[in-house]
Amino acid sequence: MAETNGNGNGNGAASGVTAPLMLHGRVAIVTGGAGGIGSAVSKHLAALGARVAVAYVGDPAPAKQLVSGINAAHGDGHAIAVEADVSDAAQVRALFDAAAAAFGGELHVLVTTAAVLDYSYPALAETSEATYDAAFGVNARGTFLCLREAANRLARDGRGRIVTFSSSGVGSLRPGYAAYAASKAAVETMTRILAKELRGTGITANAVAPGSTATPMFYNGKTEEEAERYIAEAPLGRLGQPEDIAPLVGFLASDAGGWVNAQVLRCNGGTI
């Protein structure tokens, strides 16, 4: 007999994963969905059964390659790539429209991994207005626009899930990350407030705050010696991998995570 999820829908088990963790019949939007952590999240949600709209900016090749791989593994039409600058309200609306049109109208999950970081890591006294504006334009404003759209458009049947991305840098307060960490602190605040404002809708909203993770965003602008210092500080003796982060997102997006709400979950191997 198949297990049932929290809404009483029997999805059975697949590859040893029980029904409450599965996402069959759900549609997810992942911003920055072809990036280091974003691509792992997109693939993981698809493996759990969700259909995924992979949002990207710039070069379409990584997103198209990712979508092709997801569709090859899980069936044609399981994923689409959508170009969308999350700092532009019209493009965010178009992203949600494209996902709804491609996958049958109902939207269930939003994951916001899109982010920018100044790889020169300037001290606050040397941070330009351009660096500040870029951090808050994408990381904070971009998340705000996606949250606003999701609050009005995600399913209100108990399956609506919002997972934003903060950073453990909000807690570690490393020099050189002032604008970035401040923008991510704004993400945490907006997410937790929205979770309370969505009372009665069945939609949950949580933030994931990764620590140092082996992605291009981590390595850009760092020497090998600087990267090694991060590893030396890690209690588990290594950097995180995107695949360490994705299962937490999958949990929060699923019925199994339905009682977790308005939280910031630091996924960092114990660095702070």
Positions marked active-site: 180
Q: How far is CA 133 from CA 87, 118, 180, 210, in A?
A: 11, 11, 10, 23
Tokens of 131: 């660096």
Pairwise CA distance, residues 29 & 8, whole Å: 24
Chain centre distance of CA 70:
17
Q: Beta strand pairing status for 264-267 and 109-112?
A: unpaired
Residues 98 and 63 sit within 8 Å (Cβ to Cβ): no
Give burial (CB, 10 Å; 0-12/13-18/19+) of 217: middle
Matching residue, tokens 């949250």: 147
Residues 6 or more apart whose Cβ sits within 8 Å of residue 115: 32, 138, 139, 165, 180, 184, 217
And the tokens for 124?
Answer: 């606050």
Q: Tokens 């491609």 appear where?
A: 102
Residues with Cβ within 8 Å of 260's Cβ and at least 6 positions away in sequence, in order, are 204, 206, 252
